[in-house]
Each structure stands twice: as C-alpha cells, then as structure tokens.
Amino acid sequence: MKSRELKILVETYRGMTELSGDDRRLVEHAQRASEAAYAPYSGFHVGAAALLDNGEIVSASNQENAAYPSGLCAERTALFYAGARYPAAAVKAIAIAAQTGGAFCPLAVRPCGACRQVMLECEKRGQQPVRVIMYGERQVEAVQSVRDLLPLSFELE
C-alpha cells in the first residue's frame, strides 16, 4: 500500500477589512448579487461574482425551482454566463456571499460539490488557478485554486 498526504492552504480573514481592495470589491459584487436571488424554498440567498482576465466582473444569484433540483446555484449561474458572454476570457477569481433572514451569514459560505466541479472545469479551461473567496461577516476564507476545494476531482484524464 502507498499513501499520500494532501495539504491545502486556507487563508482566513476576520471580515472585509482584512481583504485586499480587489478581493473586497469582488465580495461586494457577490453581496449585491445575493439580493437578486430567487430563494422562496430555502430562504438562502446566494450571490457569486467572477473576475475575468479581461477585467470584467460577472455576478449572479441562485435561482430555485419547485421542481428540485431544477434550480441553479449562484456560482454555476455566474460561471456559465461568463463562459457564454466572454468565451475567450479566463476566470481569475470568484467570490461567494450568502444571506438568510436579511443578514449575511457569519461564517464563510462554501460552494457545493457540483459548483466545485464546474469551478474546476473553468480553471482547466482558462489554464490558470481560480482564487475562491468565501465570505462571512465574521470570517472570510480564501484558497488560491479550486483544486484546494476539490483535490480528488473527476477529470477527463
């Protein structure tokens, strides 16, 4: 038997004030996007904002549907729109923010497994790491690559 240890680096910030200006701006786009979420079933309003290598920021929100799982998460909505609108642009970073009951979640909001897989495909498509910023009022977490969130991923290779 052979074993290996997987290590990831997760940056943890105590709120927005510790973020760089670029990260803060991207989180603010995600926060605003969460206000447009259609979440009558879960009450969990998620926004995502993707920074592209052409300087554009594409943001979107989750869209639920009574015929679960026909809805779509904010991250995938933003990334699919970015790919359709700017097919030649690579994604440099994505920020995620969520609110429930009119208040942003206190801890970092992490993407679901399906979103992680789509984010990894964007990383591969753009041939560069995608920084993932997961916002919470009291705690913000960031990783330098989607691979850190999905180390043993499903891949064509």
User: Could you list the active site residues?
Assistant: 75
Do 136 and 101 touch, CB atoms closer than 8 A?
Answer: no
**Residue 85 host element (H or E):** helix 74-85
Geometric angle at alpha carbon 17, from 12 and 19, rounded to 5°: 50
Phi, psi (deg, nearest 5) at residue 114: -65, -40
d(Cα 98, Cα 68) in Å, to the nearest integer?
Answer: 20
Do 15 and 83 touch, CB atoms closer than 8 A?
Answer: no
d(Cα 148, Cα 67) in Å, to the nearest integer?
Answer: 32
